[in-house]
Chains A and B, each alone.
Chain A
Amino acid sequence: MTTSIYGIGVSGLNAAQAGLVTTGHNISNASTPGFSRQRLEQSAVQPLFTGSGFFGQGVQVASVRRAYNEFLDSQVLLAQTQSSYLDAYNAQISQIDNLLADPASGLSPALQDFFKGVQDVAANPASVPSRQVMLSSASSLVTRFQSLNTRLAEIRDGVNSELSRTTAEINSISTQLANLNQKIVLAQSAGTGQPANDLLDQRDALVRDLNKLVQATVVKQNDGTYNVFIGNGQSLVVGFTASQLTTIAALDDPQRLEVAYVTPGGNIPFSSDVLQGGSLGGILAFSSGTLDSAQNSLGRIAISLAQTFNNQHQLGQDLNGMLGGNFFSVPQPEVTGKSSNSGNGVISAALSSASALTTSDYRLSYSGGTYTLQRLSDNTNTVFTTFPQTVDGMTLTLASGMPANGDSFLIKPTRNGARDLGLMISDTAKIAAAAPIRTAAAQANTGSGKISAGTVNPLPLNANLQQPVTITFTSATTFNVTGTGAGLPAMGVAYTEGSAISYNGWTVEITGVPASGDVFTIGANTGGVSDNRNALLLAGLQTQNTMAGGTVSYQGGYSQMVSEVGNKAREIQVSSKAQANLLADTTKSRESFSGVNLDEEAANLIRYQQAYQASGKMMQVATVLFDTLLGLGH
């Protein structure tokens, strides 16, 4: 009996010691990230049957288990991956947001200064200093476009290096996970099926770290290993082996890095929207969602400005009496054939109408004799079989060769707009402030007819634009038009007051009551240095809705871009905050289940201490009992 008292005492002593050890472990790991508190699972030992019934045999420690709840943990994983996604997106987009934040450094002030320069020329068309101001402000506008674009390009470089860095980190984590799988299997088989709590905690912490980088799903295997999958089911870790990811230049866009899955047969790129969640997903979404569209928007403003300004400038006449040339160089669309294309077709794209441009990129694919042009922003397809084709303001042609089935081309009409914008004029005299034609009513006219100053029709310019043309009234209601040009001479044209008379690419109106024999002339504006008609029209472009199908002005286009970035940044900021709260909540739930509470541990410490003391006391009692027995013989 005494031995069993001893035995029970020892078992209690052991259990209390184990409890103290576990409590100590908990206390010392109270601030270890990913640590789940451990508790002792103890039970009564099989009782001893005697005739008097069952006598307890003491306590035994069944196991040390961690407080782990798979449901709570998976909640944290989900919240974590989403939160990291938003944080990464937020970190990137706030760079653009900050770039556009300073009212003095954005595009607006440069744009306004430039048009102020144009207005200055309109006010003093013959003044060389005014013209110099316009050229200088044009040059700083071009620089502003380029510097904004450079900043966006830097952000793109940052995105690429971030992708490489993240991919390397994922690879490191997946290798560690595979190692831990192995360690856990070994440990648990050695420990006769007892859970390797701390290793499990480490592995769960790694899974959480992985989810910070990319959304990953975990499938727990019967042998205790985790299989980890990313994207739409690509295995990252299976059992003891980890797969590797890498970054490669996109096949159809050498400037863009893509995440690829390394297989013995070569690298297989993930399509861009497959990798979601985590900072990797955030960066990819930022790159394709905000960065591309911001850079395209900026490019579109540059292209529209260049083309519309050039078009009007060419309708004017410079200080030397020559017709206006191109003021800006107009950036052209960029076409890249996929490097895996098997055909030798070369597609070229040229700008046709800036007002029809969108901010999207396009993918042209060829299959079985038909071409499909996909607008990537909304996946609208245009299908055609022949070239040239004009879609959304650009004209596509097959420059040479012939594509093979499955070949594709990436077309970026506006991406480099801001980068490639340039100033074509450096000579102040070359600013075409004047109109190339002027009109006159003959001095001898007896009627009250008046001729308007005349306007030049839109491009293309008529070769006979500046040919002298004479309108002679043969009666109060008819006139003859003589001169060189298509449709000339025209005899007996009916006169309607104020209606447009258009020949040789100009349009004039005659009002009033001309008399028979009255003569009006239209001819070259020789020496018209004080004429500012074209400068006024150029200045008018500032407020004209020339972009997006004639719905917004340059400034409007920029506002749209700022608004898009601002709204997206705000959306991401708000979501990011909300998601951070959600993450904090789920983490709190998980922690309240798994985390260490020091007061609780202090209580346990006292409990196990007392249990130890009690067990010790029991052994003392057993000793006294034993001594009593021994003393009986004396």
Chain B
Amino acid sequence: MRISTSIFFEQGVQSMQQHQAELVRQQQLLSSGRRALTPADDPVATTRALEVKQSQALNQQYDINAGNAQSQLGLEEQALKSVVNLLQDVKVLALNANNAPLGNNDRLSIATDLRGRFEELLGLANSTDGNGQYLFSGYQGSNKAFSEVAPGYVVYNGDQGQRMVQVSPSQQIAISDSGSDVFQRIRNGNGNFVTSAARMSTTAATANTGTGKISTVSVSGPPYNTNLSQPVTITFTSPTTFDVTGTGTGLPATGVSYTAGAPISYNGWTASITGVPATGDVFNIAPNAGTGIISVGVVNNQSAWNAATNKNLSIRFAVDNTVTPAVTTYDIVNNVTGNSLLTGAAASNFGPYARTYSAGTAISLKSQGAEPAFDYGASVEISGVPANGDTFNVAASSSTDIFTTLSNLITALQTPVTSGAGTASLNNSLNTALKEIDNSIEQVLTVEASVGARLRAAEVAQSTGQDLALQYQQTLSNLQDLDYAKAISDLNFQQMQLDAAQKSFMQVQSLSLFNYL
């Protein structure tokens, strides 16, 4: 084949240029340490690297988030631990107040101590995080979670929101608990129902001649009216008017017109009178006068309790003093319908009632004998000596808050005990308080356990993330990093090639016939 001389030169130069270009490229690879200089060098790896980098960046973010979550949850856990310790101290104080033969002054000093604890608790409930955000105020981190708007009466200013943190692509962890969940949403009583001595019980005087009947009272609060416990007497001056006497706002009131069933409200309680009272008929509203103490009660048939309706009962006592020994009977009144469960008829203000009371014997909230059928699946015990008209309430549990419990306890301890009834009232209050403190501790511990679980979840997420980070690093390195050993050997090979091209070109181009002319 003919070889054109210019092509011979051109090819020689071209191949040297090609080798040089390869050498330069190899040098760039070596100096950058990258496997691909532009996306065109390896489109698949470049694209994949972009995606891995995003995953890596996200993973780093999740790691930071999990760290944040841990410090937040750590703060909350610390606060909750302090709350539990504090509540346990409170419980010890309450037990002391309950057990020891203490005088009014001793109880006062315990109350003062408790007041200190109350304020400490309020401080804990208003804990803040490093950014000055309140831990327990839900979404409203800038609002103080709890504030004492009246002595002993604390309101929650936050909401029920939980702040969340993303700790992995698929997992969010709550880093806060709302104050209402920690301090407020505490079941009172035994969790199913709550027993209490009625704050005020109602009695109709035995000498009444009309058919007027007074209902049990409902009490509004907290906060409670300061005159709530003041005895009040309603005296009918005619079948259509009555006077109200006692201590409190608007009292005494005279010539109040009577409408059957209309609410009569004073001092923070509400009652109603039905029927046709006669002139001179008297109704009393006063705290229990006897020494009856009601237990927290038990549910022995949960499904019956769950199925029951109208879970708002009063146990009302009547004492017949005309016989010796006096006979105490009781009625169980459905406060919703106003009927007696034992007779099925409208509840009567007068004994004797269908069941006879014997101290310390369980009162079953289930129909017995000829009574109309009802079954609450529960029983309570009342000990001591209830007086005529004394009323005890059994109501479905609802939520209470730690502050109310504490403040009720303090009030109970501050109230001087001057009579058997007073002791009973104190005992009833202490029983309730102890049960509720237990419930509070349980509630806070539950939240604390959940915080602990979330802390662990955050830790697990973080360590999983760290493993992942290593893998991403590895993948990225595989996708991007230069294999130096190969690159250097390539470089040597290309150097050799260029060298060979140059030498051979020099030798071949010197062969010319013209040299011999």
Contact = CB atoms under 8 A, between A and B. Distances in A.
Interface string A520-557: 00000111111111001001101100000000000110
A463 interface: no
B6 A566 contact: no
Contacts of A100: 38-39
Contacts of B39: 97, 100-101, 562-563, 565-566, 569
B53 A101 contact: no
A624 interface: no
Given A562-B47, A602-B517, A597 B169 contact: no
Contact of A124 (B38, B131, B397): B131
B61 A116 contact: yes
B38 A101 contact: yes
Nearest to B480: A103
B53 to A, nearest CB: 6
B166 interface: yes
Interface string B43-61: 1101101110110011001
Contact of A119 (B40, B61, B159): B61
B159 A525 contact: yes
Contact of A446 (B54, B61, B161, B398): B398
* Size class of the A contact interface (CB-based, 8 Å): 35 or more
B41 A570 contact: yes
Contacts of B445: none
Contact of B166 (A93, A122, A555, A593): A122
A112 B5 contact: no
A634 B37 CA distance: 97
A578 interface: no
Given A31-B6, A592-B1, A596-B5, A530 B141 contact: yes
Contacts of B149: none
Specify which of A533, A566, A569, A606 lies most central, judged by the most chain B CB atoms within 10 Å of its CB: A566
Interface string B349-372: 000000000000000000000000
A579 interface: no
Nearest to B395: A446
Contact of B6 (A106, A434, A446, A591): A591
Interface stretch (A38-46, A357-365, A437-445): A437-445
B65 interface: yes
B180 interface: yes
A23 B39 CA distance: 53
A337 interface: no
B133 interface: yes
Interface in B153-183: 159-166, 169, 172, 176, 180
A101 B38 CA distance: 4
Interface string A89-101: 0000110011011
A569 B133 CA distance: 54
A527 B137 CA distance: 10
Interface string B489-517: 00000000000000000000000111001
B141 A126 contact: yes
Interface string A388-414: 000000000000000000000000000
Contacts of B398: 443-446
Nearest to A589: B1
B140 interface: yes
Contact of B514 (A124, A596, A602): A602
A614 interface: no
A97 B4 contact: no
A448 B9 CA distance: 93
Interface residues of B, number: 64
Contact of A30 (B6, B61, B160, B397): B6
Given A124-B131, A530-B142, A562-B46, A543 B58 contact: yes
A560 B44 CA distance: 10
Given A119-B61, A536-B164, A528 B38 contact: no
B3 interface: yes
A119 B50 contact: no
Interface in B73-124: none
B14 interface: yes
A587 B163 CA distance: 74
Contacts of A527: 139-140, 142-143
A74 interface: no
Interface in B1-50: 1-7, 9, 11, 14, 37-44, 46-47, 49-50
Nearest to B169: A543
B68 A440 contact: no
Contact of A592 (B2, B51, B162, B184): B2
A474 to B, nearest CB: 13
A124 B4 CA distance: 77
Contacts of A423: none
B257 interface: no
Specify which of B37, B38, B401, B514 lies most central, judged by the most chain A CB atoms within 10 Å of its CB: B38
A588 interface: yes
Interface string A555-576: 1101110110111011001000
B185 interface: yes
Given A563-B43, A563-B46, A592-B3, A529 B141 contact: yes
B3 A597 contact: yes
Given A94-B40, A531-B163, A606-B517, A595 B141 contact: no
Contact of B53 (A108, A438, A592): A108
B185 A446 contact: no
Given A94-B38, A443-B185, A591-B4, A108 B50 contact: yes
A566 B43 CA distance: 5
Contacts of A112: 53-54, 57-58
A591 B2 CA distance: 9
A126 B131 contact: yes
Given A555-B54, A556-B51, A595-B2, A584 B164 contact: no
Contacts of B4: 588, 591-592, 594-597
A503 to B, nearest CB: 19
B512 A602 contact: yes
A103 B407 CA distance: 64
B396 interface: yes
B220 interface: no
A269 B286 CA distance: 106
Contacts of A528: 138-140, 159, 161
A100 B47 CA distance: 11
Interface in A591-610: 591-600, 602-603, 605-606
B474 interface: no
Given A438-B160, A531-B161, A588 B139 contact: no
Contacts of B142: 126, 527, 529-530
B399 A566 contact: no
Contacts of A543: 54, 58, 169
A491 interface: no
27 contacts: A93-B40, A100-B38, A108-B54, A112-B57, A112-B58, A116-B61, A122-B165, A440-B160, A445-B399, A526-B140, A530-B141, A530-B163, A532-B163, A540-B166, A543-B54, A556-B51, A559-B51, A563-B39, A570-B41, A588-B4, A592-B2, A595-B7, A596-B6, A597-B3, A598-B513, A599-B5, A602-B513
Interface of A: 30-31, 93-94, 97-98, 100-101, 103, 106, 108, 111-112, 115-116, 119, 122-127, 434, 438-441, 443-446, 453, 515, 525-533, 536, 539-540, 542-543, 555-556, 558-560, 562-563, 565-567, 569-570, 573, 584, 587-588, 591-600, 602-603, 605-606
Given A529-B142, A558-B50, 9 more contacts: A108-B53, A122-B65, A124-B131, A127-B131, A527-B143, A566-B46, A588-B4, A595-B7, A598-B513
Interface of B: 1-7, 9, 11, 14, 37-44, 46-47, 49-51, 53-54, 57-58, 61, 64-65, 68, 131, 133, 137-143, 159-166, 169, 172, 176, 180, 184-185, 396-399, 401, 480, 512-514, 517
Which 9 A-B pairs have CB atoms at the shortest separation, nearest pair first? Answer: A595-B4, A530-B141, A566-B39, A566-B43, A569-B40, A528-B139, A531-B139, A591-B4, A602-B513
